[in-house]
Amino acid sequence: MATDTSEPGRAAAPVPVAGTLDFVGVDFRLDLRFTDGASVQLESAFTVTVRSGGSVVVDPERKDSLLPILRLFGTDLDRRSVEGDTLTLFFADGATLVAGPDGEFESWHVSGPKGRPVRVDPLEGSTSPGTEEALRVRVPGPPFALDIAGDTVDCIGMESDVTIRFSSGASLRFETDFALTGSDGEHAFLDPGDKPSLLTLLALHSEVVSDGVVTGSRIAIRFASGALLEGWSNRRGPSWHYSEPGRARVDIDAMPDGEVRYRLSPSSVEIRR
């Protein structure tokens, strides 16, 4: 049943909102965030209907079904409505997203500055870096092994850039073009600004990392499936950022012209170098 998390017992009414979809997060659920501060989490299958009338069922657990959501990135949200156990999002381009209840799981949760948090229950049922040592390395620099072997990809977040988070807490952010070679050997360049082009990237969710290394300004992460993720420096500006948290903190930035900046905690210098 739909639950008003701040004022139980009151019926949820249509709530006008004004925001643009500017973040899509993918893990075992779908996290949509809007510029007005509203957010929607979807854990079960839902329906997207476009202006022409065509409808498609989207399942957060099936990453190949998420293309309709990627196409909504950057689209204004006119309003959202809750009727009973059903949430409807109305977008400015005429598209609608409709999420109903699920028999086993919490289906959806919505919150934001203009309205009470609401969720639908199942049917009956940054670590502080501390003191750091700053280093600068220009290519060709020595290979630097990343401490993520055995990690899985926990979350893929998409806004103006693309952030990949690993089970150890490490993260990799791409701000410019990068490349993905699939387990089938198909190679593609991906653009963080072109959300539909990122559909193939979602296949990395839950993949296990075999190894990762930074060589010069190239970062390469290989997965047990055979997939390979790569990024390089870009003359337009900073292109990628990698971070490992914890006592042995490491931060690496790929800057223009092949420059790579390492920021290592004192314990990291002892352990990793």
With 80 as the cut, is the pLDDT of residue 164 above it? yes
SS (H, E, C) 155-220: EEEECCCEEEEECCCCEEEECCCEEEECCCCCEEEECCCCHHHHHHHHHHCCCEEEEEEEECCEEE
Share of the chain above pLDDT 90, in %: 57
112-143: per-residue pLDDT in tens? 765 555 555 555 443 333 333 333 333 345 68
pTM of the model: 0.77
Could you give the angle at the alpha carbon of 152 between the alpha carbons of 41 and 27, nearest 5°? 10
Measured in whole angstroms, the distance separating CA 238 from the mean position of its chain's CA atoms is: 19
The DSSP secondary-structure symbol of 238 reads -
Q: What is the mean pLDDT of residues 29-58?
A: 91
Q: Hey, which of 36-40, 106-110, 207-211, 257-261 has the most confident mean pLDDT?
A: 207-211
* Cβ-based neighbours of 191, under 8 Å, separated by 6 or more: 177, 197
Reported as a pLDDT band with limits 50, 70 and 90, residue 101 is: confident
Is residue 217 exposed (0-12), middle (13-18) or buried (19+ Cβ within 10 Å)?
A: buried
272: phi then psi, degrees, rounded to nearest 5? -100, -20
Closest C-alpha to 264, from 178, 169, 146, 140: 146
Residue 236 confidence class, pLDDT cut points 50, 70, 90: confident
Give the integer Cα–Cα distance in Å for 8 and 272. Answer: 53
Vertex 31, ends 184 and 159: CA angle to 5°?
70
Decide if pLDDT at 11 tops 70: no
The answer on pLDDT for 244 being more than 70 is yes
Name which residue leads in pLDDT, 162 or 138: 162
Distance CA 226, CA 1 (A): 43
